Amino acid sequence: MGAWAADKTHYLLNYINATKKVRAGFLPPPAARGGAAFIDLFAGPGKKRIGTTGEIVSGSPLTALEHGDAPFTKVIACDIEAENVAALRARTASSGRCVVIEGDCNLQIDEVLNAIPKNGLNMALIDPFGLKQLKFSTVSALGALQRMDLILHFPTGDIKRNLIQAPERTGMWLDDALGTTEWRRRQRDATDVNALVEVLVEQLRGLKYTGARFHAPAIKNTTKVPLYHLVFASKNPLGDKIWASIIRTEPSGQSSLPGF
């Protein structure tokens, strides 16, 4: 795992921290409150090794479980690898709050949805291994819930490279990832990744994610080359405001420019 994985964790943890006051209003008691779930569709084994340092750190499901201020009532984690599932189940068993689902999240999305508190305040991390695994139909299924914030890894670096090397195959994957072929008309050339992010944002608006602006910081490698954009979406203007505030400061401490 590259050192840049810590940048994603930085934004994720800061958002979890910044929304604790709102989340507290959904936590029991009383029992009638809807609860709050964290959903991770590409969960991994729960721990990851930073390649440059050898440091072992918590992955996103454990990051969510370990959060103690207005803690999530449930963490729902899905992974396709049996070894990852076994490791994650072992690491989360004592919490009593984690549901681990084995299989392709795009095929198991109904099981994921059944585990989510329908009246809760929920957030999902969609962090695929590559473009092929990202399906807008799955994003849309999550987006059908009333309160579901999304943090989505959109692999723009991988897309740019593969549109040049294998345009036909990559194009089909993009059709599925964006849920539309509109990008084919809008993109000027294979390097125009901003057009792809714009189409994704428009598709999210179609799911009633109504923020006036969507902020998608670029996650970069050690040579400052963008690897992917972290696209955030909320149906509540407060969520948009909190995210916009968080990403004003990059993980390095440097102030960032708005937008993508």
Could you confirm whether domain 5-155+212-246 is CATH 3.40.50.150? yes
Cis upstream peptide for 258 (omega within 30°): no
Extract the runs of DSSP E, i.e. beta strands, from 29-144.
37-40, 47-49, 56-58, 74-79, 98-102, 122-126
Determine how many CB atoms are found less than 10 A away from the CB of residue 238.
10
Q: Which of 120-129, 178-187, 234-243 has the lowest mean pLDDT?
A: 234-243
Three-state SS at 64: helix
Distance from C-alpha of 178 to C-alpha of 65, rounded to nearest angstrom: 30
**Mean pLDDT (whole number) for 186-207:** 93
The pLDDT, as a whole number, for residue 111 is 98
Q: How confident is the model at residue 224 (pLDDT cuts 50, 70, 90)?
A: confident
The pLDDT, as a whole number, for residue 210 is 77
Distance from C-alpha of 223 to C-alpha of 178, rounded to nearest angstrom: 28
The pLDDT, as a whole number, for residue 88 is 97
Residues 6+ apart with CB under 8 A from 58: 46, 47, 48, 66
The pair of structure tokens assigned to 48 is 């990851």
The pLDDT, as a whole number, for residue 53 is 72
Interval 98-144: pLDDT, tens? 999 999 999 999 999 999 999 999 999 999 999 999 999 999 999 99
pLDDT > 80? residue 255: no
Q: Which residue has the higher pLDDT, 214 or 161?
A: 161
Q: Are 67 and 23 in contact (CB under 8 A)?
A: no
**Mean pLDDT (whole number) for 10-38:** 94
Q: Are 127 and 41 in contact (CB under 8 A)?
A: yes
Q: In what order do the strands lie in the sheet with 74-79?
A: 98-102, 74-79, 37-40, 122-126, 148-154, 226-233, 218-220
Residues in the chain: 260
pLDDT > 60? residue 230: yes
Judged by phi (left if over 0) then psi (alpha if -120 to 50, else beta), residue 216 lies in beta
Q: Which residue has the higher pLDDT, 172 or 254?
A: 172
- DSSP states of 172-209: HHHHHHHTSSHHHHH-SSTT-HHHHHHHHHHHHHTTT-
Q: How confident is the model at residue 50 (pLDDT cuts 50, 70, 90)?
A: confident
**Mean pLDDT (whole number) for 161-181:** 96
Q: What is the mean pLDDT of the chain?
A: 91
